[in-house]
Chain A
Amino acid sequence: MGWTWIKKCPVFCVLAVSGLFFSLVGIIGKFTMYRGYEFHVAKQPFLALVMEGIDEGVAPWEVIGINLSGDLIPFGKEGKGAEADGRGQDIEDFIGPDSGFAAGRGDGSDTGGGNISGFGTGGGNISGSGADGGSITGFGTNGANASGSGTGGGNILGFGTDGANTSDSGTGGSQPGNAGAGMTGELAEGAEGYGFQGVPEEYFNDAVFIGDSRTVGLYEYGGIEMRADFFAKISLTIYDVFTEKVATDEETGKKITVEEALQKKQYGKVYLMLGINELGTGTTEGFLEAYRAVVARIRELQPDAVIFVEGIMRVTGTKNESDPIFNNSNINEKNEAISGLADNRDVFYIDVNEVVCDENGNLNAEYTTDEVHLKAKYYGIWKEFLLAHGIIRG
């Protein structure tokens, strides 16, 4: 009897035995190695835990080494977060005093209408002024006796840059603001600030772009892949941007990490857009710390590069309303945090949402089929935006 019965239905037996094994691992693991997992007995069988565990890097046989004191912490999102936080603290020493991304805010002079605000940054006698029209923001930056001014209409950001003699990006009158009034952070002495200006495509010749799938799209369809380097990969996050092998060694052709690649070659500009994949995990504070650490590390590896931190591109209105995680209020919160990293001296915040969003601030539905990524033919808009927001120093 016994054996002939099994011979008749080998697939049934193998699946039944392995199914029982996985279920058993799931049940035991539920109290040990899978303890932190979200699990609903009513909805899922126990063996689903085993599959989830494999997804998180926990092999089913680890159940044999069960440790009832609970030292087996699932390695995964929390683990990663902690790691990144740790790094953030390390590097903070470096970023803090040195670059002082928060600078003095000058009271902008109001020479026109509406919502003007002027920011004066840098040391000494800075004066920032915004002028004219709707919701202008004038950034007056730099050291000594300089005064910057921004002017324009509509939703323009006017950036006054560099000393009394220059007025490349901003035009119009300048009035002294109260330098450094009540802002956090140390003021780097003699710091210089710069404003955005239009640049030719050659500008990208010494640029590198780091990012997730959106940046992959820019690489494939933006028309700048011949000029710039791209270290981009689908689902790249701020937590694994230095550990994932997304760059290629130009000599050996081997895959290397971004960190290694940045050690091998010096760039004039580093563009960074990350953050949408992180929306479901961790807090904005943790994200910001990780981001700050990444920027600091890039600063260290690329001392002469202009670093552009790009605001995360938003999603469409329908996705914004339906998705509890990948929505624009979450994106805006992260963007606000990222924008705080800019010092307008060597780290600059740019936000492509200015040109790809509709009047409600959602990604223009015409530009996308999946509500998240630009269609190929619209990457040109992003490129033009980058060309209009070049920074030229010195």
Chain B
Amino acid sequence: MTAFTEIGFLFRFLPAFLAVYYLVPGKLRGAVLLFGSILFYAVGEPYFVLLLLAAVWLNYILASRVWHYRKRKRRRSRKKCITWFLAALTVDIGLLAAFKVSGAFLGTSILPLGLSFYLFKMISFQADIYTGEIEELPTFWQAAVYFVMFPQVVSGPIMRYKEGKWRKNGREYSWEKVEEGLWYFVTGLVTKVLLADRLAILWKDISVIGYESISTPLAWLGAAGYSMQLYFDFWGYSLMASGICVMLGMPFIRNFDHPYASKSIGEFWRRWHMTLGSFFRDYVYIPLGGSREGDGRTVRNLLAVWLLTGFWHGGSLNFILWGMVLFLLITAEKLWFGKVFRKFPFLGRCYVLLLIPVTWVFFAVTDLGQLGIYLGRMFPFAGGGIAVNPKDVVKSLGMYGVYLAGGAVWCVPAVFRFLEKHRKNPAAVVLLAVLFWLSVYCLVSMGNNPFAYLKF
């Protein structure tokens, strides 16, 4: 039930939650959200829910210490404030590192659901208390709702405490909001189920063939398909999460801004997983000095950000490599050829669309040997390829061409904006409803019968 695409969530938890949420008096809605969220999390993680609650409690205690000493002007208080802040960071970063490192080195992949997301919220909360960005210390219940709210606890977006009017006094309850949120939610569901999940099969097909035996066009098609799959999966999920928030009367948290329409890789990363990017910008890059202290410092700060981004996504070496490739590209853009793309946006677009899929291959293939083979098929300068069927790309295009073409259209910002603007048009409503039930059909037929997914 902890995934938004589960039938039990779609038709049981969410409607029931919304009904209760809107039927109780306004002042009780915070409590409904808090206990509903704990229930939601506990169903998925009956044991680690205790870790989540402990982290909430500890973070609040530490944050109130930091806040308490920050208010005082004495130098001793200043020191205590720093000490408590460092203690809070140690707890949060330590927890994250402990689970990630044990996963990477011991091979045990026990990562509590949403750990990296809720801990990042906690870190940002601590930092905002420390810097005074959050002026008033929230009540424990407010902080707890912020940390555990079910739309965001599993996969983000990493909303800031001060971001928009999500707290109970600022929430706006209306049919308009419910409708708007539902539109984002359903659009996200359709994006994930009808595009991302279909394209995932193309990527699986390619691994079944074996990377050494794919033709170069198929290697590129696979990279393009994976790029879309990843985007639609995460963007779709983010739309669903933010859609729920809007349905609850909170603001829409934007996590993706049509990244594939970017004109440079740096821009791409400002438009992809935006809440993570801005987290690293505000809590790593800028505190380190940003780009104001000369090129040497800028490069160092970028390196720090991209090393951390790599680690955050996964413990294995390919993620570090992936982060380093992006670091190199973004540094080069910043120092040298960024100007060219600003002058010739078309060139920039082509550059993004060619290079981003290559970087995603680093992200997708966790085994370094296999990664080398895949890249060798994309760039077959050294020849290679065993038992390659040159017609393989024709077959894949036949099977997945519809999804790739649909996906390409769905990457265009204007298409999304058009539908967003005309979302109350009867034709658009009917279309969305049809796509929704089609998605549900796909979810049920695959959920009940996993063999439908695994036909041989």
Our verdict on whether A and B bind, yes or no, reads yes
Q: Does A377 have its Cβ within 8 Å of any Cβ on chain B?
A: yes
Closest residue on chain A to residue B429 by CB atoms: A10
Residues of A within 8 A of B437 (CB): 18, 22
Q: Does B209 have its Cβ within 8 Å of any Cβ on chain A?
A: yes
- Whether the pair B179, A48 counts as a contact (CB closer than 8 A) is no
Interface residues of B in 377-427 (CB under 8 A from A): 386-389, 391-392, 395, 423-424, 426
Residues of B within 8 A of A212 (CB): 456
Residues of B within 8 A of A235 (CB): 455-456
Stretch at the interface among A138-146, A289-297, A336-344, A367-375: A367-375
Residues of B within 8 A of A54 (CB): 441
Residues of B within 8 A of A234 (CB): 455-456
Residues of B within 8 A of A251 (CB): none
Residues of A within 8 A of B433 (CB): 11, 14-15, 18
A25 to B231, CA, bound (A): 36
A367 to B214, CA, bound (A): 16
Q: Does A213 have its Cβ within 8 Å of any Cβ on chain B?
A: yes
Q: Does A389 have its Cβ within 8 Å of any Cβ on chain B?
A: no
- Whether the pair B208, A370 counts as a contact (CB closer than 8 A) is yes
How many of chain B's residues touch chain A, expressed as a range? 35 or more
- Whether the pair B208, A48 counts as a contact (CB closer than 8 A) is no
A45 to B455, CA, bound (A): 26
Residues of A within 8 A of B207 (CB): 369-370
Interface residues of A in 22-76 (CB under 8 A from B): 22, 38, 43-45, 47-48, 51-52, 54-55
Residues of B within 8 A of A325 (CB): 451
Residues of A within 8 A of B436 (CB): 15
- Whether the pair A43, B387 counts as a contact (CB closer than 8 A) is no
Closest residue on chain B to residue A234 by CB atoms: B455
- What count of chain A residues pass the 8 Å CB interface test? 45
Q: Does B297 have its Cβ within 8 Å of any Cβ on chain A?
A: no
Q: Does A280 have its Cβ within 8 Å of any Cβ on chain B?
A: yes
- Evaluate whether A377 and B456 lie within 8 angstroms (CB atoms) in the complex, with A10-B179, A11-B423, A19-B11 already known: no
Q: Which of B387, B423, B444, B455 contacts A52 (CB 8 A)?
A: B444
The winner among B12, B449, B455 for most chain A CB atoms within 10 A is: B455
Q: How distant is B9 from chain A, measured CB to nearest CB, in Å?
A: 11
Interface residues of B in 161-215 (CB under 8 A from A): 175-176, 178-179, 182-183, 186, 204, 207-210, 212-214
Residues of B within 8 A of A326 (CB): 454
Q: How distant is B49 from chain A, measured CB to nearest CB, in Å?
A: 21
A280 to B213, CA, bound (A): 31
- Whether the pair A376, B387 counts as a contact (CB closer than 8 A) is yes
Residues of A within 8 A of B12 (CB): 45
Residues of B within 8 A of A376 (CB): 209-210, 212-214, 386-389
Flag A1-14 by CB within 8 Å of B: 1 or 0 each.
00001011111101
Residues of A within 8 A of B8 (CB): 43-45
Q: Does B131 have its Cβ within 8 Å of any Cβ on chain A?
A: no
Closest residue on chain B to residue A44 by CB atoms: B7
Q: Does B240 have its Cβ within 8 Å of any Cβ on chain A?
A: no
Residues of A within 8 A of B456 (CB): 212-214, 234-235, 276-277, 372-373
Interface residues of A in 181-199 (CB under 8 A from B): none
A280 to B456, CA, bound (A): 12
Q: Which of B182, B423, B448, B451 contacts A48 (CB 8 A)?
A: B448
Closest residue on chain B to residue A219 by CB atoms: B389
A380 to B389, CA, bound (A): 13
Q: Which of A10, A213, A277, A379 contacts B424 (CB 8 A)?
A: A10
A55 to B449, CA, bound (A): 10
Residues of B within 8 A of A10 (CB): 179, 424, 426, 429
A9 to B12, CA, bound (A): 21
Residues of B within 8 A of A22 (CB): 437
- Whether the pair A369, B210 counts as a contact (CB closer than 8 A) is yes
Q: How distant is B87 from chain A, measured CB to nearest CB, in Å?
A: 44
Q: Does A93 have its Cβ within 8 Å of any Cβ on chain B?
A: no
The winner among B392, B443, B448 for most chain A CB atoms within 10 A is: B448
A126 to B299, CA, bound (A): 86
A368 to B210, CA, bound (A): 8
Q: How distant is A108 from chain B, measured CB to nearest CB, in Å?
A: 37
Starting from the known contacts A220-B391, A221-B209, A235-B455, 14 additional A-B residue pairs (CB-CB under 8 Å) come to A9-B175, A9-B176, A9-B182, A10-B424, A11-B179, A15-B433, A15-B436, A18-B437, A47-B440, A48-B444, A52-B448, A369-B208, A376-B209, A377-B210
Q: Which 4 A-B pairs have the closest CB atoms?
A: A376-B213, A375-B210, A235-B455, A9-B179
A interface residues, Cβ below 8 angstroms from B = 5, 7-12, 14-15, 18-19, 22, 38, 43-45, 47-48, 51-52, 54-55, 212-214, 220-221, 223, 234-235, 276-277, 280, 325-326, 368-370, 372-373, 375-377, 379-380
Q: What would be 26 A-B contacts, judged by CB atoms less than 8 Å apart?
A: A9-B178, A10-B424, A11-B429, A12-B178, A12-B179, A14-B429, A14-B433, A18-B437, A22-B437, A43-B8, A45-B8, A51-B443, A55-B445, A55-B452, A223-B387, A234-B455, A276-B456, A369-B208, A370-B207, A370-B208, A372-B456, A375-B209, A375-B210, A376-B214, A376-B387, A377-B387
